[in-house]
Structure formats: structure tokens, C-alpha cells
Structure 1
Amino acid sequence: MGATFTWPVRVYWEDTDAGGIVFYANYLKFFERARTEWLRSLGIGQQRLRDETGGMFVVTDTHLRYLRPARLDDLLLVTAHVQEAGRASLTMVQRVLLKPEHAGDANIVLCEGTIRIGWVDGAAMRPRRIPTAVLRQIVPGAVSAD
């Protein structure tokens, strides 16, 4: 559904554990930042979204597979793609890829995950339907029964 968004990130000391590899929980941070930048690329600022609609996206489910480690100073590409759009949630497929050192070489998948984000009322933190205008901005042609 829609295009895959790609966001580059460099691995810093703060991202690594004592063994010099990216600490496993930091992949979730990379995914969160990529989703935020994806929304921003669509003209959707999260604070403005909450101010204007009273709602916001929250993570409701995560499934990650760690395939290979990322290391200090690696250049990574973090992707975000809408796999499924429901009335109150989006299922995202995300990957962390190691960008190759040489042009023409293939990216190497380091981590992949499925992240479900639900729409909630920002004050009550209760599930709500994604507003139609928001859903259409994210997934052109989508329809939601507000």
C-alpha cells in the first residue's frame, strides 16, 4: 500500500552496547524515528495532528527479527511501508538495512519488523477511528467511516 519510505541513520556510540553492536531495543527507536519522518514527509506533524484532531498514533504491537548486527559508524537505511490500513490502526512493515560501502552492492537486511500503530483519543487514550482526512493523506484512496 503506497510507497516505501526510507530514512538514513548513522550508528553512534550511544546506540551500541558494551560489545560494540547496536543494542537490540534501539532498533525500535530507529523504527519510531523513521515512522515520524515518514509522516512528516507527508506533511503530517505529530504535535499539530494531535492539536487539530485530538488524536494520535500509539504503538500497539511489535514483532521484530534480528538477522545481523549493526555496528558503530555503520550507515543504515530504515524503511517504513504501510502493509494494511484499518479503520483504527495501521500495520507497518519496517526494515533496517546496512547501506553498502560500494555503489551497486545490495543492501543487507539487519532487522525487520511488523509494527501496528493504533489511533487513540489523545486525552482519554481510548481507541478511535482514524479520521478520514488523515487516513487519505497516509493511504491515498482509503476510506474510513468516521
Structure 2
Amino acid sequence: MDALTALGRISGNEHRLVLRVYFEDTDLTGVVYHANYLRYMERARSDMLLAAGIDQRAAFEAGEGAYAIAGLSIRYRAPARLGDELTIISRVMRLRAASVDIHQRVMRSDTIVAQADVEAAFVLPSGRPRRQPAAWMAAFAPLVWKGN
């Protein structure tokens, strides 16, 4: 599968989003503020859904539900700085009826800047978990990481 969007692309079974670090992303020392890595990863996950043909907004507005982060483990490995070009690589590691596990790496060239394991649960607007729509499961199936 090879799908393009304005922001990122799916190649094989991983999604890549490239972005630049701006002044607003950094602290006083010019280093990316730790919470901004979570924003970068969220953008990448949202863009991965778009590239896979999943319309989160339409599903939410129709009352079907949306993803909520149920678990997150992040490790910071190297600082990113003002002006750096970063690539966020997202891989679907596990697909379950009501959730998906995604491994994400923030890279500066060949250097891992941060990496996280994210569990996104599909929930109704009330917050109760529910099964993911069948079309979403079908869209994610080819993206499940097989280690190649």
C-alpha cells in the first residue's frame, strides 16, 4: 500500500510524517519541550488515519466514536532543536477489536530522538469502549507490522 497525503505517507506498513522544529516548539534553550513530542506523535497518528482512508471527524460527528489514548509509554533519547527536520515513523503493532497499539519513533536523520508505545482505544462519545468500525479494522489490517 502506498498512499500520499499533504503531510505524510504510508509506505509498506509504516507511516512517515516529516516536520520542522519551530521556535514555538522549544524552550528557552532552543530544545524541543518534552510535551511537544506527544503533539508530533498525535499529528502523525491522525495523518496515518487520513492516509489509510479513515475519517475520524465524520465518525465522531455521526456518533460512532473516536480514539482515546488508553496507555502511553515514552522514552526521550536525544534532544531535538530549533530548525531540526524530524520524521515521525508510526507502526501499527497490534490490532484488537476495540483498540490498536502503535509504536512511534521521532527521528532526526538516523538518530532516535524519542520513541513511544501508544494504546488507542475506540470509545463512544460517552467514553465507553466499543468495537472499532469494520471499515477501520480493514484499513488497519495491511498496516500491522510484520517485522519486514
Q: Which residue of 1 aligns with 2:54?
A: 44
Quote the Cα distance in structure 2 between the aligned partners of 1:141 and 1:118: 17
Structure 1 consecutive aligned stretches of length 4 or more whose deviation exceeds 3 Å: none
Structure of greater Rg: 1
The alignment covers a number of residue pairs equal to 133
Which of 26, 30, 49 is the matching residue for 1:20?
30
Is residue 123 of structure 2 the alignment partner of residue 125 of structure 1? no
Shift in alpha-carbon separation, 1:18–1:25, aligned structure 2, 3 A: same
Is residue 97 of structure 2 the alignment partner of residue 94 of structure 1? no
Is residue 67 of structure 2 the alignment partner of residue 65 of structure 1? no
Partner amino acid, structure 2, of 1:108: T
Alignment TM-score, normalising by the size of structure 2: 0.84
Quote the Cα distance in structure 2 between the aligned partners of 1:133 and 1:41: 14
Percent pairwise identity = 34
Which of 53, 77, 82 is the matching residue for 2:87?
77
For structure 1, the residue ranges without an aligned partner over 5 or more in a row are 100-106
Partner amino acid, structure 1, of 2:42: E
Taking only aligned residues, the RMSD between alpha carbons, in angstroms, comes to: 1.7
What is the CA-CA distance between 1:130 and the residue it aligns to?
1.0
Alignment TM-score, normalising by the size of structure 1: 0.85
